[in-house]
Structure 1
Amino acid sequence: MINIVLFGPPGSGKGTQAQNLIEKFNLKQVSTGDLFRYNMKNDTELGKLAKSYIDKGELVPDQVTTDMLIDELKKPTDTNGFIFDGYPRTTAQTEALETIVKEELNDKIDICLSLVVEDKILVERLLKRGETSGRSDDSNVEIIENRIKEYYTKTAEVAELYKQQGKYVEVNGVGEIEEISQKLFAEVEKIK
């Protein structure tokens, strides 16, 4: 199995590259955003619990997110591994993910791939995306800059942990989509 943590600030092309990695290596993407939407839409116990925090404007506790992740990994799959997107975001979540992957999959996180793109380019990409996406958070420069800053603040400690484990790899996220994909594929091939 191949288990990848995929990092990239908003506008880095992470969504596109995740799909390319999934197709190339037959992986399943586990996105915390998707897990929240699924659990809340289907009114699961975890979805109701998460919604109770969100409705009060509070952050959903790590344990709720972790429990959603465990439920997802217990589902049968015929893939060759997982891409974790949006999790982990803290040291506690990183440690929890290592434990979950070991206990539920009898495996480990193999690599943390991080797409690196200059902030100026990220802002340009998101503003362009905002013209067609209809997302209000993609059309305001201040909001975009805040999202990028928040991303770096949240992921710095996690990146450092993966660096210490020798699993952190930065890939230039600027250029042709296919060219960036090939760089990511090459990094994954090294660990296979």
Structure 2
Amino acid sequence: MIVIFLGPPGAGKGTQAAYISQKRGIPQLSTGDMLRAAITAGTPVGKKAKAVIDAGELVSDEIVAGIIADRIDEDDCRKGFLLDGFPRTLEQARMLDDIIAFRNRKIDVVLALQVDENALVDRLNSRIQQTKDAGGEVRSDDNVETFRKRLEVYSTQTAPLIPYYRDQGLIADIDGMKPINVVSAQIDSVLDGLS
């Protein structure tokens, strides 16, 4: 089972991805984690990525796609995997299509978490206040201005993937504004329908 997760920052993708990974026994593949692992392992792609990062530049789509391609060839991905954070752009989606097709596999579903962006900002403010009330330290990137910029990037770069995958009949819309357990149940319903 190959699953892609789409949704804006703060929508709960991380929580739901961890749930799916554990329940379905498939690895959750986060591009950031894979990038760090490839660099640590000193793989050829990891070495390229390290050189780019050390130069203060953004890692190219080709490097990220190479890391994905290497990772999905590992044994734990044989039964499937869940992609969280990739693809982020139409170009990356096309690269992923090629990677998957080359391996004679197919994407089973794209879970699209539908959320109200103003409610996400309210959630962020609530989380910041809870962290402060608990005496914790608020992350430097946990502020409304940065968050709104991330939402804007999602809207312009990643949201176009929804019609791209909808045209392929792969989108399953999930109401991300519901309580966590209800969102999990919606996802289970979709994934159970695939098996």
Task: Look up the match of 2:158.
Answer: 155
Measured after TM superposition, the shift of residue 127 of structure 1 is: 3.4
Letter of the structure 1 residue corresponding to residue 12 of structure 2: G
Give the TM-score of the pair, scaled to structure 2. 0.88
Letter of the structure 2 residue corresponding to residue 171 of structure 1: I
Q: Distance in 1 between matches of 2:170 and 2:77?
A: 25
2:105 equivalent to 1:101: no
Give the TM-score of the pair, scaled to structure 1. 0.89
143-152 or 31-40, which deviates more: 31-40
Task: Look up the match of 2:23.
Answer: 24
Residues 68-121 of structure 1 deviation map (CA, whole Å, 9 limit, x = unaligned): 1111111112763111111111222112212212323x2100111011111122
* Secondary structure, aligned partner of 2:193: helix
Measured after TM superposition, the shift of residue 12 of structure 1 is: 0.6
Q: Is the 8 A contact 1:117 1:173 kept in 2?
A: yes
Superposed CA RMSD = 1.9
Distance verdict in 2 for CA 1:124–1:42, change over 3 Å: farther
Task: Look up the match of 1:61.
Answer: 60
Q: Distance in 2 between matches of 1:173 and 1:114?
A: 9
Letter of the structure 1 residue corresponding to residue 30 of structure 2: S
Measured after TM superposition, the shift of residue 57 of structure 1 is: 3.6
Q: Distance in 2 between matches of 1:125 and 1:133?
A: 17
Task: Look up the match of 2:139.
Answer: 135
Distance verdict in 2 for CA 1:186–1:91, change over 3 Å: same
Gaps of 5+ in 2: none
Number of positions where the alignment pairs a residue of Structure 1 with one of Structure 2: 189
Gaps of 5+ in 1: none
* Secondary structure, aligned partner of 1:107: coil
Distance verdict in 2 for CA 1:150–1:44, change over 3 Å: same
State the identity as a percent. Answer: 37
1:110 corresponds, among 108, 111, 116, to: 108
* Secondary structure, aligned partner of 1:9: coil
